[in-house]
Amino acid sequence: MAEALRHTGATVVVTGAASGIGRALTTRLLREGANVVAFDVAADKLAELEKEAGGAALVTVTGDVSVEADVRCAHDAAVATFGGYDGLANVAGVMDWFVPAHELDDDTWERVFAVNVTGPMRTTRLALDQFLRRGRGAIVNVASEAALRGAAGGFAYTAAKHAVLGQTKSVAWAYRGEGIRCNVVCPGAVDTNLGTSATPRGDFGIDKLRPVLRLRGPSVDPDQPAGTISWLLSAEAANVTGAVLVADGGWGAG
């Protein structure tokens, strides 16, 4: 396969690594020769990952991506174990139960923004500090179809994923002369555990979305977006930065 061992010698920090897209990305990066620091809030699932894919190239760190001290643990683990890192994949995320604006409670808003927006801000800030010193680095954020339109999530998730596009473009522009790239992938439906926060809390929000959600097509295996993220992290994408890569099977083309 063309992608075999394309990350040999590289180290990547992956958030949301214990499940779904992040887990598929972690196992793929290991197959492709990378060292991986796998970060997630779910300790039990990280332990499963360790059992399945563990070895000298994998370090797992349990923590909450919205908590600075936890994120620093992942950063420090990458530095202590592998001498630093070359890539960061911001995959951790939660949905918002399709809650529309007039039904939104503060807790939902704050949690969705903490994980989906504050989290990538914290990991990106620490990674940039190191990438600037090394003169290289690649960041890939994971947004959603909800970053591109109003009809793919609730109010908080839609606003948060639009913010991830802004984070991506700001970093891509500011550091384009420093050897640092930043891109964002917008997947369509993927077969993962995200559904736990995707169960509609009421009828109003989901009823408005149904005509669009019907068009999204079947859910794909998480290795598909993982392959796209891996490519963006790799040297093959050396001149790609600030890109919003829509990987939704054509859903958004309609």
Ligand X SMILES: NC(=O)c1ccc[n+]([C@@H]2O[C@H](COP(=O)([O-])OP(=O)(O)OC[C@H]3O[C@@H](n4cnc5c(N)ncnc54)[C@H](O)[C@@H]3O)[C@@H](O)[C@H]2O)c1
Encode 154-176: b = buried (16+ Cβ within 10 Å), e = exposed. bbbbbbbbbbbbebbbebbeebe
Q: Considering the complex, state which of residue 100 and residue 222 has its C-beta at the smaller distance from ligand X.
A: 222
Q: Does 190 interact with ligand X (rule: CB under 6 A)?
A: yes
The DSSP call for residue 150 is S
Applying CB under 6 A, which part among 60-68, 77-85, 165-173, 207-215 lies near ligand X?
60-68
Q: Does 30 interact with ligand X (rule: CB under 6 A)?
A: no
Q: Does 74 interact with ligand X (rule: CB under 6 A)?
A: no
In 32-84, alpha helices (H): 43-53, 68-82
Give me Rg for the CA atoms of the chain: 17
Among 31, 54, 57, 64, contact with ligand X (rule: CB under 6 A): 64
Among 151, 165, 189, 243, contact with ligand X (rule: CB under 6 A): 189
Q: Which helix (H) or strand (E) holds 187?
A: strand 180-187
Cα angle vertex 244, ends 71, 178, to 5°? 60
Q: Does 88 interact with ligand X (rule: CB under 6 A)?
A: no
- Minimum CB separation from ligand X for residue 250, in Å? 15
| Contact between residue 27 and residue 53 where contact means Cβ atoms under 8 Å apart | yes
> How far is Cα 209 from Cα 39, in angstroms, rounded to an integer?
32
Q: Does 21 interact with ligand X (rule: CB under 6 A)?
A: yes
Among 25, 94, 139, 246, contact with ligand X (rule: CB under 6 A): 94
CA-based end-to-end distance of the chain: 32
Catalytic residue among 82, 98, 157, 175: 157
Q: Considering the complex, state which of residue 8 and residue 199 has its C-beta at the smaller distance from ligand X.
A: 199
Among 12, 13, 19, 168, contact with ligand X (rule: CB under 6 A): 19
CB within 8 Å of 34: residues ≥ 6 apart: 7, 8, 10, 11, 12, 57, 87
Residue 85 annotated to the active site: no
- Minimum CB separation from ligand X for residue 219, in Å? 6
> Interface with ligand X by CB under 6 A: which residues?
15-16, 18-22, 40-42, 45, 64-66, 91-94, 115, 142, 144, 187, 189-190, 192-194, 222
| Catalytically annotated residues | 157
